[in-house]
Amino acid sequence: MRLVLVGPPGAGKGTQAEFISAHLGVPKISTGDIFRANVSQGTPLGQQARAYMDAGDLVPDEITVGMVQDRLAEDDAGKGFLLDGFPRTVPQASTLDDLLLQAGTPLDVVLELVVDDDEVVRRLSGRRTCRNCGHIWHIDFDPPSTEGICDSCGGELFQRDDDKPDTIRHRLEVYYEQTSPLVGYYAEQGILVGIDAMGPVDDVTGRAIDALRRYGQ
């Protein structure tokens, strides 16, 4: 299955992507994770992306699209994939459509995680991510048993630089200006499914899996 998750920052895309990709048996491809890995390794790609990410702006399409194209060409994506954080603009979506149509493998479904702005701020201000395995925690909603340590692998937890209050507000503005038009774009194609992403993580996962059952998954 070829699936895209769309939704505002903090909607729970990364959290749900872990469960849904495991359920579907397809790789999770997160552009945010790929950029962050490049930033921490100090690669040329990371150096190009860093200033945009720290400011809460989008990395330019010409950098992002080539990176995703390379990742989709890897063997494991041949059986399907879950894209988290891409596309983020209508030009990115249209380029992705062209690539997939050329390969005869169009997208099957786009899940939109719907959540309100106050909840976004609550979720992002308390997020902690494992430096080792990437698992996502929350200091109130899903705390690890020992503060600062990942229960899954014992790795160190960190707070993302772009989760500061001013940057969160700016990322929301960027979402409404540049990314939310994707909702109409995919609705017109008849492949958009809205998921109520308020409430506990397990409930949201259940709604997403129920929606995918309608596609035989």
Residue nearest to ligand AP5 (CB): 32
Burial 11-20 (b: 16+ CB within 10 A, else e): bbbbbbbbbb
> Concatenated DSSP letters for 34-45?
HHHHHHHHT-HH
Is residue 141 near ligand AP5 by the rule CB under 6 A? yes
Q: Give the sign of the dihedral formed by CA 12, CA 14, CA 15, CA 18.
A: positive
Instruction: Judge whether 2 counts as a catalytic residue.
Output: no
Residue 201 CA to residue 206 CA, distance in Å, equals 9
Instruction: Find all residues with CB under 8 Å of 6, minimum gap 6, and list them.
Output: 13, 110, 111, 112, 113, 179, 182, 183, 186
∠ CA 36-51-8, nearest 5°, is 65
Among 21, 38, 64, 95, binds ligand AP5 (CB under 6 A): 64
Instruction: Judge whether 50 counts as a catalytic residue.
Output: no
Instruction: Judge whether 13 counts as a catalytic residue.
Output: yes
Instruction: Judge whether 36 counts as a catalytic residue.
Output: no
Residue 128, by phi and psi: left (phi above 0), alpha (psi -120 to 50) or beta?
beta
Closest to ligand AP5 by CB, 48 vs 105, is 48
> Concatenated DSSP letters for 189-205?
HT-EEEEE--S-HHHHH
Instruction: Judge whether 207 counts as a catalytic residue.
Output: no
Q: With contacts defined by CB under 6 A, how many residues of the chain interact with ligand AP5?
A: 36
Q: Find the binding residues for ligand AP5 in span 25-54 (CB under 6 A).
A: 31-32, 35, 52-53
Shortest reach from residue 25's CB to ligand AP5, in Å: 20
Is residue 201 near ligand AP5 by the rule CB under 6 A? yes
> One of 122, 160, 164, 169 is an active-site residue; which one?
160
Segment contacting ligand AP5 by CB under 6 A, of 21-29, 38-46, 72-80, 119-127: 119-127
- Beta strands 157-158; 192-196: pairing state: unpaired
Shortest reach from residue 148's CB to ligand AP5, in Å: 14
Catalogue the active-site residues: 13, 88, 127, 160, 171
Which residues of this protein are in contact with ligand AP5, per CB under 6 A? 7, 9-15, 31-32, 35, 52-53, 56-59, 64, 85-86, 88, 92, 123-124, 126-127, 136-138, 141-142, 162, 171, 200-201, 204
